[in-house]
Structure 1
């Protein structure tokens, strides 16, 4: 059966953007030796050339896998986003090619939450401005505009994994936590939900955005929302760069409506450390600007390396798609003494019957079968007991079924 299933040492894995060494270690511990790790992002023809022979690719936020780029990746069978977001990948185009995309939605939760709390404290004390003055030889020793965070109201927009973690940390410091989410979420500790975002903005001394990148959250925080914030309050965005209108925020800081801000993500970010960062927020006195490092701690990157690499290995080894963001999720048992066939197809009637016909017409016994579909794609996994002669034509039979996108065989 070896001529039907690609040997692990032949599977080429390309990891970009300095993904943590844990990922390489995990791949190699499972027998995947052909791993290339590059320190930076790639784009254009250079990226096309690299992914043309890749079976799996791992990226972070800078590498853009567009539909056009994916067309050049004929061998690609899985994508790993070693980060929370997946908006850098054309998810539908990947799905249409039968390529599941995996990410790490939880591994950097603590790192982001800690930075939110740290920046709240720094802004409450006016530290950014005082720090700059000290570096310039100044000495602004005053309590004016400097406050404790205890007793202040923190408004959290988006009460998911990061938002709820921020809630716990903030409450342990004596802050009053209110939150708003479009989905009903049970509060942790003494946090309380708001009926609307407008209510939250009116009462909060600090507002932190912890929302995902969706069509609904794009430009959700415009001039109207910023002006609805409590005068003298502070805004933090460590979520997504396209959520906040930066010009409207700059205006509110310059005329004193807001007392400060902390921004970690931006609508347009430099592609590398050699490109200048351009923003109207540069030079604002009580503003913390960070280069998209909310989840960039050694602990988070180590955890992400393990989590995403593990998902890719599980998919490659036994076909499990648990954790895929663009694909039907199937958690599959590890089977001994069987040959496993994976069939990805358009979600059209009759495919399963044709698949079963391919096996039954060859006298093959099905030991297990799993089927999941979504609106566009179906995923069938079939375990056949015993060994199979390579000349039985199973591969050709499955590939000939109308609607077939991709087939794989595991032994």
Structure 2
């Protein structure tokens, strides 16, 4: 159906803006589909983004750009935001939902990159490679076995047994480690991993502790002075999840006091917005700490896969109305129907809107050949397939339906 390969307006008029040096794999997906893409290497401030986004239809970001309520209020044409990363906390999801803007991410594409690095860091820290490397660079030959251990037979404690945590679990068992994990939900273990009932239990048993939890109100500073005091003496602590989860002053004290023997930290409560910017952390200048600049998922393979994943979701939404994977617009994915035009209607989730849609169309003798509805707490999403001869008239009528947020003729 050639007519259904086109959107409701020429592709050259669709504005796609990608920030933060998103992978060229994403650019290639959009250009192959016939769109023009503008790509910027860095993040934008709220003020700059407000100025840039007024004519943008699709926005791609990573973790630094903040899509706030003010930004969304200025985004008159914005259909969707693609977060080319795991997290979505950089987008005001409530505001995006209220404005009918779909928000997509890539929850799985960089899991392997993070998992491999966590295992590598575990080996580096338990072997005290950081100290030996520094000594060699300073001209000192520090060949000794004291305080250096194999990870085989050691216990790895994973906090958060999701996509990344479970993959770390599999890799760790392959190296002969014992794995325990804590999660707020009951999770089926992979391999021989064992779920424990509390953070206290996990910290008390683990030789190495690795965090894999999201950033939200329930996890803010969940790793604090009290929890760290429960750690097995000499344990190693790794956070490649979210910066807000750990009280860094408390972590510093645990390292200085010897409660922990080492740490690797990749994420911080406040991070610079661009490469080369000044960075400060309480953990700087501690010889048993590895600090990295939020690179857990920063491999070429991960960025390539993320580029393909998110761009595919954005294109499916733009061209087909498919919203599976969206955190804001209710999930719908329906096949095209021959000899119809498709209209997308997003509205406030209040009683009577679907009835009003049907009444408006039927009273004007517009036949609905297909109709699909899905709602969430805030909004409803309707996909309608109508007679091609009357689609423009149908679009005009749907825009006037009370509680309408956004209406779009797809093809």
Q: The TM-score by the shorter chain falls in which range?
A: over 0.9
Write the distance in 2 (CA, Å) between the matches of 1:366 and 1:55.
Answer: 27
Q: Deviations over 1:216-253 (max 9, x none)?
A: 11111111111111111011000001000000000010
Write the distance in 2 (CA, Å) between the matches of 1:389 and 1:174.
Answer: 63
Write the distance in 1 (CA, Å) between the matches of 2:20 and 2:289.
Answer: 28
1:19 aligns with 22
Write the distance in 2 (CA, Å) between the matches of 1:326 and 1:121.
Answer: 40
Write the distance in 2 (CA, Å) between the matches of 1:4 and 1:225.
Answer: 54
Asked if the contact 2:50/2:74 (under 8 Å) is kept, the reply is yes
Q: How does 1:51-90 map to 2 (within 5 A)?
A: 51-90=53-92
Q: Does 2:299 match 1:297?
A: yes
Asked if the contact 2:63/2:85 (under 8 Å) is kept, the reply is yes
2:96 aligns with 94
Which secondary structure does the structure 2 equivalent of 1:139 belong to? coil
Q: How does 1:4-403 map to 2 (within 5 A)?
A: 5-32=8-35, 34-388=36-390, 390=392, 392=393, 394-403=394-403
TM-score, structure 1 length as denominator? 0.97
Which secondary structure does the structure 1 equivalent of 2:390 belong to? coil
Write the distance in 2 (CA, Å) between the matches of 1:214 and 1:192.
Answer: 25
Q: Deviations over 1:249-298 (max 9, x none)?
A: 00010111100001010011111123211011111111111100000000
State the 1:134 CA deviation: 1.4
Q: Which runs of 4+ in 1 moved over 4 A?
A: 1-4
State the 1:4 CA deviation: 9.3
Q: Which stretch shows the higher mean deviation, 3-12 or 209-218? A: 3-12
State the 1:213 CA deviation: 1.6
Which secondary structure does the structure 1 equivalent of 2:176 belong to? coil
Which secondary structure does the structure 2 equivalent of 1:388 belong to? helix
Asked if the contact 2:110/2:303 (under 8 Å) is kept, the reply is yes
Count of matched residue pairs: 408
Asked if the contact 2:153/2:178 (under 8 Å) is kept, the reply is yes
State the 1:122 CA deviation: 0.2
1:406 aligns with 406
Asked if the contact 2:100/2:328 (under 8 Å) is kept, the reply is no
TM-score, structure 2 length as denominator? 0.97
Which secondary structure does the structure 2 equivalent of 1:387 belong to? helix
Asked if the contact 1:127/1:286 (under 8 Å) is kept, the reply is no
Asked if the contact 1:23/1:309 (under 8 Å) is kept, the reply is yes
Write the distance in 1 (CA, Å) between the matches of 2:95 and 2:27.
Answer: 27
Write the distance in 2 (CA, Å) between the matches of 1:317 and 1:233.
Answer: 51
Report the RMSD for the aligned CA atoms in angstroms: 1.5
Asked if the contact 2:46/2:66 (under 8 Å) is kept, the reply is no
Write the distance in 2 (CA, Å) between the matches of 1:4 and 1:218.
Answer: 43
Asked if the contact 2:50/2:70 (under 8 Å) is kept, the reply is no
Write the distance in 2 (CA, Å) between the matches of 1:128 and 1:183.
Answer: 36
Write the distance in 2 (CA, Å) between the matches of 1:4 and 1:303.
Answer: 26
